[in-house]
Amino acid sequence: MTERVLIKDLAAHEDGIVRVSGWVEKVRDQRYVQFVVLRDESGAVQLVNGGVLREPDPENPRSDILVPRTTTISELTQGTFITVTGELQHNERVKLGGVEVQIETIDVVAASLPENPVADDSNIDVRLDWRFLDLRRPEQNLVFRVQTTFLNALRQVWIERDFIEIQTPKLMASASESRAELFEVEYFEGKAFLAQSPQFFKQMAQAAGFGGIFEVGPAFRADHSFTSRHATEFTSIDTEMSWIDSHEDVMELHEELMVAGLSAVKEKHGEAIQKLFGVEIQVPERPFPRIPLAEAKEIVKERGYEVPRADADMDPEGERQISAYVKEKYGHDFVFLTDYAASIRPFYHMLNEENPELTKSYDLIYNGTEISTGAQREHRIDVLEAQARAKGMDPEELGFYLDFFRYGVPSHGGFGMGLNRVLMLMLGQSSIREVTYLFRGPTRLLP
């Protein structure tokens, strides 16, 4: 049997007999010629059934025209999976890839119902209800190819630095920060929590002497937000490393990772992203701009917007405004907001020695939205316990975590970053629902 050829490889293939497989995207059933647009995981191609030439009949002057070979094409429904064997022909006049396949045989692998529940103008909820059909769109296929390339580039940076990949558990006996955003689940005779972050476990790797580590895995937040950038289950990119001097070391690693990821995406998918999303991938220059949070709020205020609470984090409009400022002044899509107040940071962030009211931490803003939080961690057990108490936490409930620091831990730090937010902002999409394989939110657990 002729080996199957991916559609993207047809242009480089010699004319002759080929076999292609995919789903029917469109049928044009004309009187004497039939066209089928077939799409597979790599692209689309035009199939042609032009019929055969008959010997002219003097009594019927139109007897020499092309006539269809089969009625099978007429019966094909959108979404039907088929395998076609036919003659590949290069033809510059064919707009779809410059090639077409003259059909010889058609094998209907699996027929589709005639009424497709997803239309071009279907809203996001309908498309999520029928996500497997929505994912057939070329844009969606590209999203997850971009995701694969981006993560592979990050992984190469970590591996070159001799970092270790870990997989941390998602069932926890106690909360890592606050129980307010945790899902509580039954666990045999007791209770467990779904991890909102691998924070404690990636710090455990520092106590274990692993040095640099990374993880790409699920995280859970019991957050009732219905915004375009929140989900109850998301993919978190996490890294942690030992022997740092300050959070500046973490920011430098973060820069290296983002430049590597965006460079790889631009090189491999830049043209396709421009074509399907109308977005030009920008590879940022290093170093990224750095602005202390208090200064950033003043800049935003001067632009006509005041963050409602002076003692709070930057809000979404503030993030948009500071990004606009950085874009105008530095021509940069990224900005580190630094020097966050201890009052709005977790207990395990290290305090600034020169100003204990501030932490050695940062948020990374990308195209107007926060994508990551990073920091140097506090590794001294007495200081860590005091900071936990200051946050109203009971050190005894943090026993397993605090034990890490009773047996020696090097200075360390790291960050957590939401993969779906990065993809949303990279591709200029309006919601993480568009770039999440199967979205989970307060009202969505299916499919």
**Beta-bridge mates of residue 335:** 365
pLDDT, one tens digit per residue, over 321-376 is: 999 999 999 999 999 999 999 999 999 999 999 999 999 999 999 999 999 999 99
Q: How much is the average pLDDT of 213-217?
A: 98
pLDDT of residue 144: 98
Annotated binding residue 377: yes
Two tokens, residue 155: 């992984």
Q: How much is the average pLDDT of 299-317?
A: 92
Annotated binding residue 93: no
Two tokens, residue 354: 């020169």
Is the pLDDT score of 38 beyond 70? yes
Main-chain phi, psi angles of 191, to 5 degrees: -125, 155
Annotated binding residue 419: yes
For the chain, give every residue range classified as CATH 2.40.50.140: 7-110
Two tokens, residue 169: 């558990």
pLDDT, one tens digit per residue, over 154-187 is: 999 999 999 999 999 999 987 666 566 899 999 9
Two tokens, residue 343: 């009052």
For the chain, give every residue range classified as CATH 3.30.930.10: 131-435
For residues 48-66, one letter each, b for 16 or more C-beta atoms within 10 angstroms of the residue's C-beta and e for the rest, the string is bbebeeeeeeeeeeeeeeb
Annotated binding residue 221: yes
**Beta-bridge mates of residue 191:** 186
Two tokens, residue 148: 């694969």
Rounded CA gap, 48 and 28, in Å?
Answer: 10
Is the pLDDT score of 58 beyond 90? no
**Beta-bridge mates of residue 284:** none
CB neighbours of 332 closer than 8 A, spacing ≥ 6?
Answer: 284, 285, 288, 289, 326
Rounded CA gap, 234 and 440, in Å?
Answer: 8
- C-alpha distances in angstroms, 15 versus 10, 34, 98, 99, 200? 9, 21, 12, 9, 59
Is the pLDDT score of 50 beyond 90? no
**CA quadruple 292, 293, 295, 299: dihedral, nearest 10:** 130
Annotated binding residue 177: yes
pLDDT, one tens digit per residue, over 394-417 is: 998 888 999 999 999 999 999 999
Annotated binding residue 406: no
**CA quadruple 252, 255, 259, 265: dihedral, nearest 10:** 130
Element (H, E) at 274: helix 247-277
Annotated binding residue 373: yes
Sheet containing 184-187, strands listed edge to edge, beginning at the edge strand earlier in sequence: 171-172, 190-194, 184-187
**Beta-bridge mates of residue 362:** 338, 374
Q: How much is the average pLDDT of 63-67?
A: 46
pTM: 0.93
SS3 helix, strand, coil % of the chain, rounded to 5? 35, 30, 40
What kind of fold does domain 7-110 have according to CATH? OB fold (Dihydrolipoamide Acetyltransferase, E2P) (2.40.50)
Give alpha helix (H) positions in 316-367.
Answer: 316-330
The region, left, alpha or beta by phi > 0 then psi within -120 to 50, assigned to residue 201 is alpha
Annotated binding residue 433: no
Range 131-435: architecture per CATH: 2-Layer Sandwich (3.30)
Annotated binding residue 83: no
